Every structure is written in C-alpha cells, then in structure tokens.
Structure 1
C-alpha cells in the first residue's frame, strides 16, 4: 500500500491514516472504528460518500499492457469519472471546484474512494489494450 501512495502528494496525516488502515485490513480484514472516525474528521461527509462508493464496488482499476493505469469511478449520480491516483486528480466537477479552485477540500469523494478501495483491496480490475485506454481517456476529454 505504501508503494501505491508514494507518488501521491497528500498531507502526511492522510498518508499515515491510509497506511494504518491498510495494515489493519491486512491484519484483521476490517478497518477499526477509530480509523473510520479519523477519516470522517478529516474528510467530513465525503468520507461516508466515498465508503459508500467502495461498498457498491464502484471503483475499477483499468490497466493496459504498457503499464498505464487509471481508475474509473461510477459516481452516485450515475456518471463515470476518471481518477489518476499517481497525480491526485479526478475529472469530476467537485474536484475542479472544491479541491483546485477553492482549496477547501483535500480530495473529492471519487478520489478518496480510489484510495479506500486500494486500502480495502476491493477495487475491480479491467485489462484493456493501449488503444482502448487511450479512447477511454479521450472520451472524457471530449466531454469536458
């Protein structure tokens, strides 16, 4: 888990919490209540929404033969968003507004769901060709 988060620039407290959660899941297959409370304290209602997305198995890791990886998250509205965990990015409007523009949130619920699905090892897996992955990324850009 530490390797998955190494490239992400998050506050140390968030990285530590995610790493502790990953260790707890590995040890006992569950996240302790105190970690869930910490998650709620740091992320507010986004934590609950992200956990709901994880419970609904809305996070898919899409990988290609060249080694490129993106996450696709089916949002609660039914729209699909692309998340790049390696550079801490989500294609949703909330990320653009609350995280980038206003800087009043660390993450959107979709990106948090990606990190939580990594921690809980519940991420769906999909292998596609390099061309298919490019098409997935280009569709998102054209719609934006």
Structure 2
C-alpha cells in the first residue's frame, strides 16, 4: 500500500484526534493544510462542506470513494493507493510531480477525518459497473 509523506499523515492524524476531542479542526491545522496543499486545500474543504464525497462499499469488502467535483463531474478515488481519476491527478501528481494530491483525493482524506462521508452499499456487480463505466468515459 502506498503511503503519504509522513508530514501529511501526521497532520491528518492530528486533525482526526482534534475532531474526536472537540468536533472541530483547530486553525493551526487548517493553516498547515493550506501551507502544504495551497489552493487545493480550500477547494477540498469546499467539497467536504458540500458533502460531495461518497464511500461506496460492496459485500466483498471492496470500497471506493466517489467525489462530485466542482465542475459537476464525478471522479473515482482509491484511498488505499492514493489515486484519483481526474485529469489534475494525472497531470500534476503523476506527470509533473508538483502536487502530492489532487483536491478530490485530499477531500476524501479530510471527509474521513471529519467523518462526513456519505455511505452507499452496492452489490459487487454494481461496484464493478461503476468502475468500468468510468474507464470507458476516459
């Protein structure tokens, strides 16, 4: 399983602990987030606020995240291997390596920290259809 840089893992863990203790994220954590991710942090928080992240799980235990982007398009995120189907991930994260995550994947991690993911259970067949449908659109 791929891992995030230690500083990001630590920040997300600290944010999760703060949410458990006080149901809010301290300003210094938000500032750190903005320092590390720039404008993507604000865009990701906006996606979280709009409840745009859905955890889709199947009986076999497979799960993916679906993120409704600000453009109205839906992207598939795999948190286990830090992947998003959006063009920004392919370009900025994979090709240019000038970003750690795209805003959609960051929103997934933040929604997990804040416990705001929508939940959807589907059959294994439906999950496969969701994944192959996205591939055919690309």
Q: Tell me whether the two structures share a fold, i.e. TM-score over 0.5.
A: yes
SS at match of 1:10: coil
TM-score normalised by structure 1 residue count? 0.95
- State how far apart, in whole Å, the 2-side matches of 1:16 and 1:118 are: 14
Question: What is the Cα deviation at residue 14 of structure 1?
Answer: 0.1
Structure 2: segments with no counterpart, 5+ residues? none
1:33 Cα deviation after fit? 0.1
Runs of 4+ in 1 over 4 A off after TM superposition: none
How far does residue 94 in structure 1 lie from its aligned partner after superposition? 0.1
Cα deviation, residue 9, structure 1: 1.1
Which deviations, in whole Å up to 9, do the C-alpha atoms of 1:21-57 show, x marking residues without a partner? 0000000000000000000000000000000000000
Matched, 1:71 2:80: no
Q: Give the match for residue 11 of structure 1.
A: 5
Counterpart Cα distance in 1 of 2:61 and 2:136: 24
Partner Cα distance (1:131, 1:18) in 2: 33
How many residue pairs get aligned? The number is 137
Instruction: Compute the RMSD of aligned alpha carbons.
Output: 0.4
Q: What's the TM-score once normalised by structure 2's chain length?
A: 0.99
Residue 138 of structure 1: how far off its partner (Å): 0.2
Question: Secondary structure at the residue paired with 1:134?
Answer: helix
Secondary structure of 1:104's match?
A: coil
Q: Which runs of 5+ in 1 are unaligned?
A: 1-7
- Give the match's secondary structure for 2:127: helix
Distance 1:46 1:36 in 2: 12
Shift of 1:123: 0.3
